[in-house]
Structure 1
């Protein structure tokens, strides 16, 4: 019991004092995850708008596929990206394996279906309200999608925050494609796994505190945005 309290105390002081390793790992985690989030949002949000507005042959299949990919195991994503980026893979010549770029690629693949599915639900509901008005105005499909994306911006931000929460806590794919290299690809989740294995519970707990704080902050933001969206509709 004393070891537990000792570890918690040391972890608390590491956070309060701003331990350099802790800050470095946290900043790298945020850099990788935020980069992946921006790229994923640029892919997922327009895709969600297209699925809400346009009618094409394989639309329902695409929606079903996105919903199914939300549950895709991250370890499988990491394995696929590893094979593609390895020396014997088709993109091995780029030398991206075991770099932050590889980690961003894996996170983008993981969170695009999640963001697109959540965003599509919001845009589909909004499209049912706007359909007659926009059709009567004879606007182009691009103008329809732009209007939906703007008016649903709070809901879309919620979808993006959900993607951030999924990405920041990911460990399997990141470990495979990043390699958990010190001062290069070590992020919060992989560092926690490593330090726990080494028995350095103080640093592991401190990293855990930061990760919990980020997760709580994201969830509070989602709750606040969702509440604001509901109040706005009333």
Structure 2
């Protein structure tokens, strides 16, 4: 228990230090102007869902439900498919209609800022399916009492953004926001890769594969468990 607490604490501290460095570099690169507002808008909703999924709500509900499930492999496959499908559909809608999504997130901002921010919102939103996948795999790792990968992988997003700022030196404000937006997505990809590697190393990949393989056969048997999970998760999500 002490080791797990220390690992999580050190990983969070390391990420926060990098986050502070990232904020300093972002302030230096963009300053207090329209483009700093635009990146704030673009990353606002994905960052909100990152906090909801990655910082507690999903894991707190998923692990007890997973532990009680009589068909764990199929249960986790069901949950993953349902949630990821909804998130991908939402991401596609934001990509197709970025202006509407931006108006919702940037309420009170001028029409000019909303128009400029729209393409960046569409790019940043693809961090959402990535961070959900990361959170899902992290929950499996935590069930096996493996915390190091999740604790330290949170720093990968900040590292990706720091590199984006480094490579976008002497660029225009709009170009810097493009670099940062793609840096967000790349950070999510890196986090997902590290979790996939950890899942394979702990021998959990067979469990995941088995869940998808037998999902059609046993999906009716876990329908009640899946429904119960959803009714518990959504109140916890906003609680």
Higher relative contact order (CA 8 A, sep 6+): 2
Instruction: Give the TM-score normalised by the residue count of structure 1.
Output: 0.38
Rg larger in structure: 1
Instruction: Give the TM-score normalised by the residue count of structure 2.
Output: 0.38
